[in-house]
Structure 1
Amino acid sequence: MFVHPKGIGWLVILGLIVTVCIASSVSCTATAANGKGESYSMKQELDSYIYKEPKLKGGLIGVSIRQADTGKIIYEHMGNTRFRPASNMKLLTAATSISVLGKDYQFSTELRTNGTIKQGRLNGNLYLVGKGDPTLLPETFDMFAAKLKAMDIDHISGDIIGDDTWYDAVRLSPDMIWSDEHYYYGAQVSALTVSPDKDYDAGTVRLEIQSGGIGEKPQVSMSPKNNYIEIKNEAITVKAEQEEDLIIEREHGTNIVSVSGIIPKAKEPIKEWIAVWEPTGYALDLLKQALVKQNITWHGVVKSGEAPIESKLLFTHSSMTLAELLIPFMKHSNNSLGEILVKEMGKKVYGEGSWEQGIEALKRQLKRFGLNQEKLLIRDGSGISHVTLIPPTAITQLLYAVQKEAWFPSFIKSLPVAGDSDRQIGGTLRYRMPDLVVQAKTGTIYGVSTLSGYAEKSNKEKLIFSIMINNLIDEEEGKVIEDQLLEIIVDTD
């Protein structure tokens, strides 16, 4: 037996410490000591931080921590209290959609006609039928036109009709704040839509504003170039030492985007993504441009409508798989993708592409993962809602249950990796917690910061955690709190 140099008295003291720990049912360690030589468990450290942190005064915090292998809850603070999840809602949407639709699921877009092709003419209407694909890019429409050209079509004698009836006509989720609906994260949802780039913010255009000469208007460019959006440029270039104060917004109910305020001379271009009004028309505009490039003309009008059941299929385009789509969805916290996945689940399960039926399908699947639907209030798929309410224990239960699914490797691969500077890996955690082994989903809306996922302790023990902070004055302070809590969770026994 090892005897401490101080003698038998040390063993007596150690025995008393063990007795006190057992009697109080608190996990104590002889190695985790603070500056005063006192032993602290993870529970004590977390409780101390939560109750003493001044940034949490007047706010609410819920924490749930489980062992990853057993699902046993090892720490809880207001774990069964419902909180606004912000983008932690995407964990539920990702898990249920990949379960309902399958990891190899692909969205499709069709070119159809009610006519015939003869001597370079399509004698009838051309239908562009959207089925929810959020990955259609400007170059996809060039490909559509090239396919028509390859069919020897030089002229369309009828109309060009965009069919978005795969989903319902409700464009915005029920709790969308009116001031958010012109930003990329509040984009409208249509079964026929366009993404400006491979972040797949469907239903948006990208603006780039470059300063001009002092006293002159800056240059405003738009991608993709289109005739659907009108730019009203009222901004002015000022001296380089002045502070930038640009306002970029779309007028409600229109596609007029105004750029006003000041931009300093020689400043790096400012980029902003703006949501369009009615994405179906946006897609049709890009198709028109693509047809012109191929010298394909048409006789009729370009409009929205529905393809007849008996229409003939000319071409089908398929998206990437759902497993691949989860990467931009989760890494970049893409709201548009979340709402599209909800509507797609509704279409698959109940034959109706709506939020109402999609959320029913989502909740039905959550029951399979052991979540009590009666304790959840779910209003959308992205978490932008300030009405949605979920307790931290429900999120950790979900994260424990999905580990058993065959598609779990695709799910966990989609989660941001703390401290990895590669945007396609680190995502929204690429600048946070570089020294910790954490893979988790972030969440931020006004007054809310959340973080839930998987962490590995210094002794390699794997944990599941959910930290949900509500009623913050500054939601950015929530990220500091989350990172500090993770430090305690990982480093304390």
Structure 2
Amino acid sequence: MKPTIKQALLSLWLCAGAANAALPVDVESALAKAGVPASALAAAILPVDGGPAVLLENATRPMNPASTMKLVTTWSALNLLGPAYSWKTQLLSDTPVANGVLNGPLYLRGSGDPKLTFERMWLLVRELRAAGVSEIRGDLVLDRSAFRLPVSTSAFDDDSDEAGQPYLVTPDALVSNFGSVRLMLRSDGSTVRATLEPALDALRLDSSVKLAAGASCAGWKDGVQLRLDDAGQSARVSVAGRFPADCAGDRYFAVLDARSYTASLFRSLWQEQGGRFSGQVRDGVTPPQARLLATSISPPLTEAVRDINKFSNNLMARQLFLTLGATSPDPAGDTAAAADARVRGWLQQQGLNMAELHLENGAGLSRVERISAEHLGRMLVSAYRSPLAPEFISSLPIVGIDGTMKKRLKDEAGAAHIKTGTLKDVRAVAGYVRDQQGRDWVVVALLNHPKAPGAMPVLDALLRWVATRSSTEIAALRH
């Protein structure tokens, strides 16, 4: 029976799709070795000039991108907020200061600064002292109204047995110092000393760590147990076990929520600098007539984008995502929903209609966020051709040199700028790779499978294949 025209066209389309989906042999071998089916991998290789893709493997399928979703957030922010955007954290009062005494409330107003560090908080407090305030008899009012978040927001379950992981700190308009504390263990030949930095008045440290004579400092973490008992506005940190002699070890953890942490940090720094405080801590909104006493201005957005992409900082990415909602023309209601609408709307204006895109927090720290490899790749092509390309591309880890790619592809060091993504059943890479003839390609690979943790070589094989081939060889994948 002679085929109809429709059947012939369908046959040609299927053949073209099959040829286009052919993976490099090195990648197929890596998949087989990892025991992962090709159906679990979505990949795209696209020329940066906007021409036809040379590889589209499951590329339209919605996939969990893990932290490569940060590329969507940071690229959108650079365009919507501008590379010079900065956050302000302010101290204000609607009561005059008399003889160094503030008899009314002191308002600490946040704007969602993703990097309000210990050092910057110290300088903010110092500026308040320089403004002539030595005693606060009113309340410390925390103005966290910049972000409107659902009360029932649940924390991300990372399937870890370790409590207090800093990367799980939840966003807040007044989060400070990444919500983290450093446990410092130091020993000599006879004693072990445990301290917390910063020394927050809301934390109590109980240490029963003993000296382990003859033990190696390299494995100190195996001998020390950390227990965190969070009581809401305060917490107890218990450290037990054995610690090697003549050793120094640090561990970072998070235990207080943003509100309690920031209040405690302010009180501790205020008292450290000789200030007196006899009021209470409460939430509130700064009145319009309040007078500015001190301000801390963040570094520009480009620095935040670099930290987010180089080191995959989840809290900073979530703060940035919410900032997009808080500064949107219509920020009313849920700030995260406003951010989602703003990002989606801007992408559509750029001709990127991502029907499958699902944003939860913009950081990729999610079980439900989704994007396709092709759409992520198309966005990266658009970014490459933008005037803001230098700021964006330079924020990505350089393979074999820095960030989350520092220890990978050492044999191809410097050949690519790649953002990584890691979750329990997800491994991902996305960015720009330069081939042997100096031509740049967008490469995206999203792998979703229970065996993903052992399939990192699959992604590295794809990146290496592009970096070690000529432009002609890469383009031949299309045929």
Report TM bin, short chain. 0.7 to 0.9
Distance 2:460 2:238 in 1: 37
Match of 2:318 in 1: 339
Match of 1:111 in 2: 91
Match of 2:396 in 1: 415
Rg larger in 1 or in 2?
A: 1
What are the residue-to-residue correspondences of 1:281-360 with 2, within 5 Å?
A: 281-349=260-328, 350-352=330-332, 354-360=335-341
Q: CA deviation at 1:222?
A: 1.6
Q: CA deviation at 1:128?
A: 1.0
Match of 2:44 in 1: 64
Match of 1:273 in 2: 252
Aligned CA distance change for structure 1 residues 236 and 82 (closer, same or farther; 3 Å): farther
Which has the larger displacement, 299-308 or 41-50? Answer: 41-50
Q: Which 5+ residue runs of structure 1 have no aligned equivalent? A: 1-23, 29-40, 196-201, 421-425
Q: Which amino acid aligns with 1:401?
A: S
Q: CA deviation at 1:392?
A: 0.9
Distance 2:140 2:254 in 1: 24
CA contact (8 A) 1:232 1:257 kept: yes
Aligned CA distance change for structure 1 residues 120 and 106 (closer, same or farther; 3 Å): same
Query: What's the TM-score, normalizing by structure 1?
Result: 0.82
Q: CA deviation at 1:345?
A: 0.5
Task: Indicate the structure whose relative CO is greater, using CA pairs within 8 Å and at least 6 residues apart.
Answer: 2
- Give the secondary-structure state (helix, strand or coil) at the position aligned to 1:455: strand
Q: CA deviation at 1:454?
A: 0.3
CA contact (8 A) 1:192 1:279 kept: yes
Distance 2:264 2:230 in 1: 20
Match of 2:164 in 1: 182
Match of 2:141 in 1: 161
From 341, 356, 371, give the equivalent of 2:352: 371
Distance 2:226 2:343 in 1: 35
Q: CA deviation at 1:67?
A: 0.8
Q: Which amino acid aligns with 2:308?
A: F
Q: CA deviation at 1:447?
A: 1.8
Distance 1:122 1:399 in 2: 52
Q: CA deviation at 1:340?
A: 0.4
The number of residue pairs the alignment matches comes to 444
Distance 2:452 2:55 in 1: 26
Matched, 1:134 2:88: no
User: For 1:382-441, what per-residue CA distance to the aligned partner results, in whole angstroms no more than 9, with x for missing partners?
Assistant: 111011121111110110011232222111110000111xxxxx1111111123201010
Q: CA deviation at 1:227?
A: 1.3
Distance 1:312 1:445 in 2: 46
Distance 1:377 1:338 in 2: 16
Q: CA deviation at 1:271?
A: 2.6
From 217, 226, 235, give the equivalent of 2:200: 226
Aligned CA distance change for structure 1 residues 171 and 213 (closer, same or farther; 3 Å): farther
Which has the larger displacement, 143-152 or 396-405? Answer: 143-152
Distance 2:405 2:374 in 1: 22
- Give the secondary-structure state (helix, strand or coil) at the position aligned to 1:323: helix
User: For 1:125-168, what per-residue CA distance to the aligned partner results, in whole angstroms no more than 9, with x for missing partners?
Assistant: 11111111122222323322322222222223322222111112
User: For 1:33-60, what per-residue CA distance to the aligned partner results, in whole angstroms no more than 9, with x for missing partners?
Assistant: xxxxxxxx98553564366334425971
Aligned CA distance change for structure 1 residues 71 and 344 (closer, same or farther; 3 Å): farther
Q: Which amino acid aligns with 1:230?
A: R
User: For 1:273-302, what per-residue CA distance to the aligned partner results, in whole angstroms no more than 9, with x for missing partners?
Assistant: 222332122222222223223333234223
Match of 1:11 in 2: none
Match of 1:438 in 2: 416
Query: What's the TM-score, normalizing by structure 2?
Result: 0.84
Q: Which 5+ residue runs of structure 2 have no aligned equivalent? A: 1-14, 474-479
CA contact (8 A) 1:248 1:260 kept: yes
Which has the larger displacement, 41-50 or 290-299? Answer: 41-50
Distance 1:303 1:351 in 2: 24
Match of 1:450 in 2: 428
CA contact (8 A) 2:48 2:385 kept: no
CA contact (8 A) 1:88 1:450 kept: yes
Matched, 1:146 2:137: no
Aligned CA distance change for structure 1 residues 81 and 339 (closer, same or farther; 3 Å): same
CA contact (8 A) 2:201 2:268 kept: no
